[in-house]
Amino acid sequence: MRGVPRERRRRVIARECLIAYALLLVFLFGGKAFLALMHLSEASLSIAGGVILFLIALRMVFAHPDGVFGDTPVAEPFIVPLAIPAIAGPSALATVMLMASRTPDALPSLVVAVSVAMLVTVVVLAAADRVHRVIGERGVLAMERLMGLVLTALAVEMLLSGIRTFTTQFAR
């Protein structure tokens, strides 16, 4: 968002979050059909999502010159890289598909959870400039590394869950 004028940032954030929210809902409701259409198992999706999340987390922990999501354009983002992959990336999409396919009767609760998560995302992104001013560049870097560690643990858990599911299916 560095290339976006301050007066436009909130509108861009709202637009990008709305796009990401719509995409997450599409994958939440259409995830099971998508998995069936592509002949993908929950185990393979969990493993793939874990691997991708792990790679993103590593780039957060060990700073990369191109940033977390690679070389990003200096201009105003439109869908890429803020909506996809920053907010609704492969791991988030895999997660909502897995949750929906594992607990189809809990879809209303999942919609509420995704909605609350998106509201928190909008608030955090809208407050990013203020937070940056308060904690400074070093504080932002420390928070990014800390969140990278948390994401690493989540990625490993996703990966292990997929492996557990696969070995359980294979043992039958």
Domain range summary for the chain, segments of one domain joined by +: 6-171
Residue 35 confidence (pLDDT) above 70: yes
Is residue 31 within 8 A of residue 49, CB to CB? The reply is no
Q: Binning pLDDT at 50, 70 and 90, where does residue 109 land?
A: very high
> pTM for the complete prediction?
0.79
Q: What is the dihedral of CA 54, 60, 62, 65, to 10 degrees?
A: 120
3-state secondary structure of 75: coil
Rounded distance between C-alpha atoms, residue 160 and residue 157, angstroms: 5
Q: What is the mean pLDDT of the chain?
A: 88
Task: Find the mean pLDDT for residues 103-110.
Answer: 93
